[in-house]
Amino acid sequence: MPARSTLVGTALAAALAAGSALAQPKPTEVDYFIPPLSNGNVNPNPFLASGVGIGRNVDVYFSAGIGPAARNTCSAAGTPERYIDYSFYPGFSCGSLPTGVTVTEAQGMNNLARIKENLEARGLTLEDVTYPPITVGDVDQRAGRVVLRDTKNRNDHKLLLSTQALEIAKRNCMGRKAEDPLFPVGDARKTLAWINKQAGTNVQGHGLRATFASIAEELVSSALLKRMLNHAAAGDVTLGHYVAKSEAQLRAEWQAVADFVEEAALRR
């Protein structure tokens, strides 16, 4: 497909111009290049890719002109806060956001909603856009941790599992191969809708992260909370210290959050 070759060529040229070559992707993979910060550290902004490499066997849908809509009329025109879609954040307005959610992330959610609208106009859904799931092989049952591959800041992120989470992970690993998905969920939105119906709640996917952050900020330090949420440590001396803390110390904080959630659930 000529258009695809042009896109990949442009991506490679952009990466080279930025001072780093984009590796040739495997036939079924998509790879992208995010220029590092001036000091060489990983750029924490995942929306600033300068090049994209697309494997030859990957189906591609091209679109143009999609960006976050100016849905927040409470904030001044031209400001970053103007492009927050508060339908994702009930109870917040005028530039305020839940703990743990940055303006950049909020803009990204806005943009994804516009992409969803674009896909639906062509008879497609978000299920047609896939991301590799967590696999059984990503779980280290003996060490009690799971690795999230190639996250938004381009690094793998290690989650230290609480005893409750480890029990769930072990149960889902039983009888499955390393390459099998850890959670056999075909449509996460439908699964969440079913949970909401059973529980009588109205929880949204991104709200789960915000809820975790709200609970954790009362139990752990702000630096460690950033670590738990996988915020980049570039230029943050305190956060860099917490990265070097022992795994046992870090795990104790994850366990504290899990125990709080479990105790709150039992009181209902």
Q: Which residue would you say has higher pLDDT here, 159 or 55?
A: 159
The predicted-structure confidence for 144-164, as pLDDT tens digits, reads as follows 999 887 776 667 788 899 999
Whether the pLDDT of residue 14 is over 50: the answer is no
Whether the pLDDT of residue 226 is over 50: the answer is yes
What is the 3-state secondary structure of the chain?
A: CHHHHHHHHHHHHHHHHCCCCCCCCCCCCEEEECCCCCCCCCCCCCCCCCEEEECCCCCCCCCCCCCCCCCCCCCCCCCHHHHCCHHHCCCCCCCCCCCCCCHHHHHHHHHHHHHHHHHHHCCCCHHHCCCCCCEHHHEECCCCEEEECCCCCCCCEEEECCHHHHHHHHHHHCCCCCCCECCCCCCHHHHHHHHHHHHCCCCCHHHHHHHHHHHHCCCCCHHHHHHHCCCCCCCCHHHHHHHCCCHHHHHHHHHHHHHHHHHHHHHC
The predicted-structure confidence for 108-120, as pLDDT tens digits, reads as follows 888 888 888 888 8
Q: Which residue would you say has higher pLDDT here, 44 or 181?
A: 181
Query: How far is it, in rounded angstroms, from Cα 65 to Cα 94?
Result: 26
Query: How far is it, in rounded angstroms, from Cα 104 to Cα 33?
Result: 18
* pTM attached to this predicted model: 0.56
Q: In the chain, pLDDT over 90 holds for what percent of residues?
A: 19
Q: What was the pLDDT predicted at 72? A: 92
Q: What was the pLDDT predicted at 265? A: 84
Contacting residues for 43 by C-beta, under 8 A, at least 6 apart: 34, 35, 36, 37, 153, 154, 232, 234
Task: Mean pLDDT check: name the lowest of 61-70, 146-155, 160-169, 172-181.
Answer: 146-155
Bridge partners for 140 per DSSP: 145
What mean pLDDT comes out for the span 212-220? 87
Query: Domain locations in the chain?
Result: 2-54, 80-128, 133-184
- The amino acid sitting at 205 is G
Q: Which residue would you say has higher pLDDT here, 133 or 264?
A: 264
Q: Which two tokens stand for residue 89?
A: 């954040």
- The amino acid sitting at 231 is H
- The amino acid sitting at 143 is A
Q: What was the pLDDT predicted at 256? A: 92
- Residue 79: pLDDT band (50, 70, 90) is very high
Bridge partners for 148 per DSSP: 157
5-29 burial code (b ≥16 CB/10 A, e <16): eebbeebbebbeeeeeebeebeeee
